[in-house]
Structure 1
Amino acid sequence: MKITENTPVGEIVAQDIHKAKVLNQFHIDFCCGGDKSLGEACHALNISIEDVKSALEHSDIAHESAALQFDNWRLDLLIDYIVKYHHHYIRTQGIETYKLLEKVCKAHGEKNPNLFKVQKHFYESLTDLHQHLDKEEIVLFPFIQELLSTEKNHQSLPDFHCGSIENPISVMIHEHDGEGERFRLISQLTQAYTAPDYACESYQLVLNLLQEFEENLHIHIHVENNILFPKAIKLQHKLAQL
């Protein structure tokens, strides 16, 4: 795709997931802020759009895989991927990362009180995310699966208890925005996950794990906000016209 200043940053990553790494390097939010144009995002961060475009155009695509071009995936496959990879990652890796963070806080919290703030934010994140994942799996994703079944069986669009699919989606997007802001605070408190000179191996490891968790969450939110949700809304609109 040809990238211009008017190209939405979410669309850039939707077309090529490998571009996410480049946007992350420039601290450009492509998940919660995926509807912003590249020009708007660069202006807000006071960075050169030409530098960003050059980096995007010359990014390494040697390992590009069609399997990771989520924009081409079916809705049911996207849901399966999100639940089995991203939801599983949050529920398992999140707990392990928090346990290590507790130990690091006990060892280094007195010297760096910001660690306790990071611990508080991360605990709140895991608590809210677990509730968020449940809502997706119990309410939203079955809603989308029913739309797919309706399309497949050439049936009339059923009445849903929550009305339009846009209602639960708007709730999920709002919660995504909250997590994006929370991890911006965690990144600031850790100086972009930079370990101090006195940091032990556990301290360095937990910062790496927190950064990995945030990057994984960015992809998770991107796939939902910029690909899954718009496709689901489009499908419901299509069925409503039949």
Structure 2
Amino acid sequence: MKTIDWKYTSVGQIVADDFAAASVFKKYGIDFCCHGEVMLEKACADLGLAVEEVEQALLRQGEAGNGRISFASWPLDLLMDYILKIHHRGIRARGPELLALLEKVERVHGEAHPELHELKALIGESLEDLEMHLQKEENVLFPYLYELYAAKEQGQRMAPMHCGTIANPIRVMKMEHEGEGNRYLHIIQLTNHFSVPQDGCASYRLLMQELEAFVDALFEHIHLENNLLFPRFEDIEREIVC
């Protein structure tokens, strides 16, 4: 973690430099994934936060050395492998389990907590949209990115993508990321930051735990693509694509 003034560094870059910063931004409600290009000073001002307080929290987190995953140092093919095998598989495995648990809790607590009905609708819609999103990445964008990475490593030139440039599918992916990010920010508000009501049972507590873990993983997924994978591949495309 840097020990300098972060005010004029984008929040996405801060997390890219040290993923431990993600836990600090989560605490303060700073969106580092979908709007990672925003400077820390502006992100704090928009939320009515004192930037100095957030900087001190970043410094303490960095000194603690917790949660250090050096994603920025990984080769791009390893980063894509991680996204596919951890995040894509994770969404497909945990998403239906989360929805099934939510339906169970809704049946018991839905009358007293009608927000569960909206929550179920939001999660159901999200899982459908995420599946289409994952398929686009797996079948259209990532195969070309793997080829682009191999060509770069072998010192070869590459023909342009059939879309003309990777900027076109990347633009679509980032728009979809923003849509999901906004949906889950609404879910965070709807659940009062994953709070369990006083009459909540063990299943309700488990639901909130699983939902929070699902959201954390999704935001990591979006961050890795928006702030690390996509910009680096756009640089490679400019360098080696004919």
Specify the TM-score bucket, using the shorter chain as the normaliser.
over 0.9
| Partner residue in 1 for 2:48 | 46
Q: Which amino acid aligns with 2:12?
A: G
**More deviation, 22-31/144-153:** 144-153
| Partner residue in 2 for 1:25 | 27
Q: Deviations over 1:3-43 (max 9, x none)?
A: 42111000111010111001100000000010000001001
**Alignment CA distance shift 1:6-1:173 (3 Å):** same
SS of the residue 1:58 aligns to: helix
Q: Which amino acid aligns with 1:74?
A: P
Q: CA deviation at 1:154?
A: 3.4
SS of the residue 2:61 aligns to: coil
**More deviation, 141-150/76-85:** 141-150
Q: Which runs of 5+ in 1 are unaligned?
A: none
Q: CA deviation at 1:146?
A: 1.5
The answer to whether the 8 Å contact 1:169/1:229 transfers is: yes
Q: Deviations over 1:133-175 (max 9, x none)?
A: 1111111111111112322343332132111011110000000
Q: In the aligned structure 1, how far is the partner of 2:92 from the partner of 2:218?
A: 12
Q: Which amino acid aligns with 1:200?
A: C
Q: Deviations over 1:189-240 (max 9, x none)?
A: 1111111100001011101111111111111100000000001100000113
| Partner residue in 1 for 2:181 | 180
| Partner residue in 2 for 1:166 | 167
| Partner residue in 2 for 1:121 | 122
| Partner residue in 2 for 1:141 | 142
Q: In the aligned structure 1, how far is the partner of 2:241 from the partner of 2:160?
A: 11
| Partner residue in 1 for 2:7 | 5
Q: In the aligned structure 2, how far is the partner of 1:202 from the partner of 1:64?
A: 30
The answer to whether the 8 Å contact 1:193/1:211 transfers is: yes
Q: Deviations over 1:45-64 (max 9, x none)?
A: 01110110000011155455
**Alignment CA distance shift 1:231-1:52 (3 Å):** same
* Backbone CA RMSD of aligned residues: 1.4
**More deviation, 211-220/145-154:** 145-154
Q: Deviations over 1:86-121 (max 9, x none)?
A: 111101011111100000011000111100000000
Q: Which amino acid aligns with 2:173?
A: M
Matched, 1:107 2:82: no
Q: Which runs of 5+ in 2 are unaligned?
A: none
Q: Which amino acid aligns with 1:13?
A: V
Q: In the aligned structure 1, how far is the partner of 2:67 from the partner of 2:33?
A: 21
Q: In the aligned structure 1, how far is the partner of 2:17 from the partner of 2:145?
A: 22
The answer to whether the 8 Å contact 2:8/2:40 transfers is: yes
Q: Which amino acid aligns with 1:141?
A: F
Q: TM-score, normalised by structure 2?
A: 0.95
| Partner residue in 2 for 1:222 | 223
Q: Which amino acid aligns with 2:199?
A: Y
Q: In the aligned structure 1, how far is the partner of 2:155 from the partner of 2:70?
A: 28
Identical counterparts, % of pairs: 43
**Alignment CA distance shift 1:109-1:64 (3 Å):** closer
Q: In the aligned structure 2, how far is the partner of 1:3 from the partner of 1:220?
A: 27
